Amino acid sequence: MVTEKNISSTERRGLRSDRPEGFSLIELLVVITVIAIVTGIAVFQFVNTREAYNADDAAYKVMNYFREAYSRAVSDHHSFRVTINNSTGIISLIDERTFGGISNGENLSGGAVLVKSEPLGVRVSLAQPTGVNPPPAPFNYAAATFPSNVWTGHFQSIGSVTDASGNPQSCTLFFQPSDRTNIPSLIRAVTVFGSSGSVRFWMYNGTQMVQG
């Protein structure tokens, strides 16, 4: 009779080599399936979260345009204007001194040229959300208006922001994901102070706007 004691070390190695090693095809398929499901869920969540914060992107883009218009107007000693089209979601920066014409849908008559223009983002509402008030005083400027679906701010060389008539224009622009209107915490706002051209970013905490 062959017992465990009678088996040499060489025979032991031979016996071990006969055992199957690694994973079976079914086990590999199960692992691959689980990885695919987890990856799909992660990508879906990332896309949803990214879209939910489109309001942040739009608000920061508006502030950057305002600051560039202010800087250019002061340094170049003539006015620049920023337009926001509520219908197309396009923001534009226009030099009001140079040659006229029409570019990218902007009416540039009267001695103006388009500096740059781009979309604010997808699915972003610029309307003031129901029940949400402007930021607290002294920044409680009324919501921006969009005559013919376009808001316009003229950034003057003295640092002020005016309307078409040259009156200082202070207002609040609201931003909210149009497909996430049930989440108040995603509401954002930007105020612009007409007398100085300063801008501030705001976030809604469920009760009021707080500076972001």
pLDDT digits (tens, 9 = 90+) for 26-58: 777 777 777 777 765 554 444 445 556 889 999
Q: Locate the DSSP E strands across the chain.
A: 80-85, 90-95, 102-103, 106-107, 113-119, 124-125, 150-155, 161-162, 171-177, 188-192, 199-204, 209-211
DSSP state of 129: P
Task: Please tell me whether residue 4 adopts helix, strand or coil conformation.
Answer: helix
Task: Please tell me whether residue 127 adopts helix, strand or coil conformation.
Answer: coil
**Average pLDDT of the residues in 153-172:** 95
pLDDT at 21: 62
- For residue range 92-107, list pLDDT tens digits in order: 999 988 544 333 344 4
pLDDT at 25: 75
Backbone φ and ψ of 156, nearest 5° = -90, 160
- CATH T-level topology, domain 53-211: minor pseudopilin epsh fold (3.55.40)
What is the overall mean pLDDT for the chain? 82
pLDDT at 150: 96
